[in-house]
A and B are shown apart, each in its own frame.
Chain A
Amino acid sequence: MTTPTVTQSNSQTTRPRIPSRWERLRDSYLWYSFKRDHTAQLCLAIFIGLVIVAFASPLLAPTDPYDLRQIDIMASELPPFWIEGADERFILGTDAQGRDLLSIILYGTRVSLLIGFGAVILQALLGITFGLMAGYLGGRVDALLMRLADIQLSFSTLMVAIVVGAVVKATMGGAFYSEYAIIMLILIIGLAEWPQYARTVRASVLAEKNKEYVDAARVMGLRSKRIMFRHVLPNTLSPIFVISTVQIANAIISEAALSFLGLGMPETHPSLGSLIKSGFDYIQSGSWWITLIPGAVLVILVLSINLLGDWLRDVMNPRLYKG
């Protein structure tokens, strides 16, 4: 309501200063609200921290959990340091195979993040391409793609992922599946969740396409490809940006769910989900930490992404999943 407008009076005498890109960012509402929102700051710090720690895990982790020689089966199910019977070598205790829980969590977070990012990149590629095609070409292409997306969505993305995962695993055999689990999971989650992107992109393309600046570009004589990429696409970026955060969180949860069902990462190269699964078998015997500590890390990771997404949505205020 109160956009500062350029006043024309005296414009001859005072030369207007052109703000640089950095100044624009600094003056932008995005930056303004980030500066005031402590939750957003904390979440970004946690998220970036986790990403750095996870990807630097080979350097930071006390042991290499993938190296079988470093594992002592006698030291299994040791509790974390604050509980009686802890071993000072293992701050967060050990799992049922005697692996250092801290190290394996660091490595597991890396696997989870890798799959999360990979799957979202794949989703985005598929979803944006199909969404743009559907929104801009319209007609039969649109009807076909969107009907497909609707059917897939009505089955829920997780359901699709479980079914595809199950079928792929059954046809290819468990050993093969385990070997290529990261790629498999990226493919499965990426294929399962593209409709979210496609629908968002299509909706905002349709909204933008009807705006008069697109008509103006057409009247100018620009070719439709240029209109699509130079005019329409840049204006659909903010909703894409917002759902990307949500989608990363979803992809990480989906991966954890698949791994928990035994359709994901093998226990030799566990993700957070498979750590929770392997720990669950020992929860009845009182070793709650094997499952709940990785669970806590997963929750913190997903929660910080979700809160960031919430904040972004409030700031950018795009109308998602509508129309």
Chain B
Amino acid sequence: MALLEVTNLDLRFGLRQGEVRALRDVSFTLERGERLGIVGESGAGKSVAAFSLLNLVGKPGFIAGGSITFDGLELNSMSEHALRKVRGNRISMIFQDPMMTLNPVLSIGEQMVECLKAHRRISSKKARAIALDKLQQVQIPSPETRLDQYPHELSGGMRQRIIIAIALLLDPDIIIADEPTTALDVTIQAEIMALLLDLCEQHNVGLILITHDLGVVSQVTQRMLVMYAGRVIEQGLTREIINDPQHPYTQGLINALPQMATPGERLNQIRGSMPSLSNLPNGCAFHPRCDFINKANGEPRPACVQEVPEFVDSGNCRVACHMVAEMQEDRRLKLEEIS
């Protein structure tokens, strides 16, 4: 039994215009100490997926179905009070923008100590000592003075280090990191990512990394999910997916990276843009943009237009696409041609 098991998660937003389904049939697992990447473009539902694990999606969002099992606990049906004992304690989070995450009117120390005191019966003095130790672990220069500083006195990179320190305060089982480095500069990004990776390995903490950056995912995670329009469309070992993506969308995403093309030449682009969740096409949500169906014979398959694809094993990944068999056939033919 995996440490975290999400099955058929269904999340909706009750908007004035009607219900919008932000997540459909999202299922994945996470083993103890494993690092999982969730990749997708904006609007794919990857952040919502992360927040829904701890039931932190604000109104009008609500979980309409599915289950989230964490170490034998059913998080989905838990009371808010019981869930609070998991939040920040056994599963902690790192948010995207360190400039907005820390409360501007509370000192760093206060924000760290309150977290410890919420979960442990502990003296303020002891809590401060633990906080100091964690600040040292995240390699913040002069940690003692930081405790009494306010967030606005620190740079973005420093704040994200503090947020990592808070995430580690109670030695959690899982850290959910939602685009933890997107708001930071390139050189700081690399440092923060390396730090997070080191600490996760050192303490055997599981990591769910939400990101749009395939490079980051490939460097940090062992397994990954690719999301598109609220669904998982491909999942498997990171290395396998990066090297040999099966879903046409994943292929397009990887091929669109500038480093996949010869400098100066045109990039391999995907046509069109992601549909809005309130107005999804029937069948496979990707079919209007899918190059493979059009390459086949101009007209998309009836299955692609009508039915939502089921997951099938393909190569070393699991992929939700009607065309997998054809694509593999196609590829085999090409390989034969070459050889």
Is there direct touching of A and B in the complex, by C-beta distance under 8 Å?
A: yes
0/1 string, B74-103, CB within 8 A of A gives 1:
000000000000000000000000000000
Assess the B20–A2 pair: CB atoms within 8 A: yes
Fill in one digit per residue for B256-281: 1 if any A CB lies within 8 Å of its CB, else 0: 00000000000000011101111100
Chain A stretch 1-26: residues in CB contact (< 8 A) with chain B: 2-5, 7-9
Q: Evaluate contact between A2 and B272: CB separation under 8 angstroms.
A: no
Question: Whose C-beta in chain B lies nearest to the C-beta of A2?
Answer: B278
Give every chain A residue within 8 A of B106 (Cβ-Cβ). Answer: none
Alpha-carbon distance A5/B288, docked complex (angstroms): 15
* Complex alpha-carbon distance, A218 and B277, angstroms: 37
Scoring A residues 83 to 111 as 1 if CB is less than 8 Å from chain B, else 0, what string do you get? 00000000000000000000000000000
Please measure, in the bound complex, the distance between the C-alpha atom of A127 and the C-alpha atom of B17, giving whole angstroms: 38
As a 0/1 sequence over residues 136 to 150 of chain B, the CB contacts with chain A under 8 angstroms (1 = contact) are: 000000000000000
Q: Mark B3-38, 1 if CB is under 8 A from A, else 0.
A: 000000000000101001000000000000000000
A158 nearest CB across to chain B (Å): 33
Which residues from chain A contact B288 at a C-beta distance below 8 Å? 7, 9
For the complex, give the distance between the alpha carbons of A4 and B288 in Å.
16
What's the tally of chain B residues with a CB closer than 8 Å to chain A?
12
For A2, list chain B residues within 8 Å (CB): 15, 17, 20, 276-279
| Residue numbers in B under 8 Å from A8 (CB-CB) | 271-272
In the complex, A192 Cα to B272 Cα: how many Å?
A: 55
Asked if A3 contacts B276 (CB within 8 A), the reply is yes
The residues of A that contact B20 with a CB separation of less than 8 Å are 2
Say yes or no: B279 contacts A4, CB within 8 Å. Answer: yes
A63 to chain B, nearest CB (A): 50
Closest to A8 in B: B272
Q: Smallest CB–CB gap between A5 and chain B, Å? A: 7
Nearest to B276 among chain A residues (CB) is: A2
Within the complex, the shortest CB–CB distance from B288 to chain A, in Å, comes to 5
Residue among A3, A7, A8 with the highest chain B CB neighbour number at 10 A: A7
Cα distance A30–B288 in the bound complex, in angstroms: 32
Residues in B with CB closer than 8 Å to A5 are 273, 276
Q: Which chain B residue has the least Cβ–Cβ distance from A3?
A: B276
Expressed in whole angstroms, the Cα–Cα distance for A5 and B43 within the complex equals 13
User: Distance in Å from the Cβ of B175 to the closest Cβ of chain A?
Assistant: 27
User: Which residues of B, 271-297, contact A by the 8 Å Cβ criterion?
Assistant: 271-273, 275-279, 288
Contacts of A7 in B (CB 8 A): 272, 275, 288
B276 engages A4 (CB within 8 Å) = yes
Contact B272 A9 (CB under 8 A): yes
**Distance to closest chain A CB from B23 (angstroms):** 15
Interfacial chain B residues near A3, Cβ < 8 Å: 276
Whole-angstrom distance between the alpha carbons of A8 and B271 in the complex? 9
Which residues in B have their C-beta under 8 angstroms from that of A9?
271-272, 288
Look across to chain A and name the residue whose beta carbon is closest to the beta carbon of B20. A2
Cα distance A9–B273 when bound, in Å? 10
Q: Report chain A residues within 8 Å CB of B277.
A: 2
Give the complex CA separation of A2 and B20 in angstroms: 9
How close is A303's CB to chain B, nearest CB, in angstroms?
25
Closest chain B residue, CB of each to CB of A10: B288
Please report which residues of chain A, range 93-140, place their CB below 8 angstroms from some CB of chain B when the two chains form the complex: none
CB-defined contacts of A4 to chain B, threshold 8 Å: 276, 279
Closest A residue, CB atoms, query B277: A2
Q: Which residue of A lies closest to B289 (CB)?
A: A9
Q: Please, which residues of chain A bring their CB within 8 A of the CB of B273?
A: 5
Least distance between B284 CB and chain A CB atoms (Å): 15
A9 vs B294: C-alpha distance in the bound complex, in angstroms? 13
Nearest A residue to B275 via CB reads A7
Q: How far is the CB of B58 from chain A (nearest CB, A)?
A: 13
A16 to nearest B CB, angstroms?
Answer: 16
Q: Which residues of A contact B276 (CB under 8 A)?
A: 2-5
Chain B nearest CB from A11 CB (Å) reads 11
Closest CB of chain A to B287's CB: distance in Å? 10
Give A4 to B279 CA distance when docked, in angstroms. Answer: 8
Min CB distance B205 to A, Å, is: 33
* Shortest distance from the beta carbon of B283 to any chain A beta carbon, whole Å: 14
| A99 to B235 Cα, complex, angstroms | 84
Most buried by B among A2, A5, A8: A2
Complex Cα distance A4/B277, Å? Answer: 10
Alpha-carbon gap, A8 to B274, bound state (A): 12
How far apart are B14's CB and chain A's nearest CB, in angstroms?
13
Report how far A8 CA is from B275 CA in the complex, Å: 11
Instruction: Output the least CB separation between A106 and chain B (Å).
Output: 40
**Roughly how many angstroms separate A9 CA and B289 CA in the complex, as a whole number?**
9
Please name the residue on chain A nearest to B13 by beta carbon: A1
Shortest distance between the CB of B263 and any CB in chain A (Å): 28
Closest CB-CB distance, B291 to chain A, in whole Å? 13
Given contacts A2-B17, A2-B278, A3-B276, 16 further A-B contacts (CB under 8 A): A2-B15, A2-B20, A2-B276, A2-B277, A4-B276, A4-B279, A5-B273, A5-B276, A7-B272, A7-B275, A7-B288, A8-B271, A8-B272, A9-B271, A9-B272, A9-B288
What are 11 A-B pairs with beta-carbon distances under 8 A? A2-B17, A2-B276, A2-B278, A2-B279, A3-B276, A4-B279, A5-B273, A7-B272, A7-B275, A7-B288, A8-B271
Task: Give chain A's interface residues, CB within 8 Å of chain B.
Answer: 2-5, 7-9
In the A-B complex, the 7 residue pairs with the smallest Cβ-Cβ separation, listed nearest first, are A2-B278, A2-B276, A9-B288, A8-B272, A9-B272, A4-B279, A2-B20
B: which residues have CB within 8 A of A? 15, 17, 20, 271-273, 275-279, 288
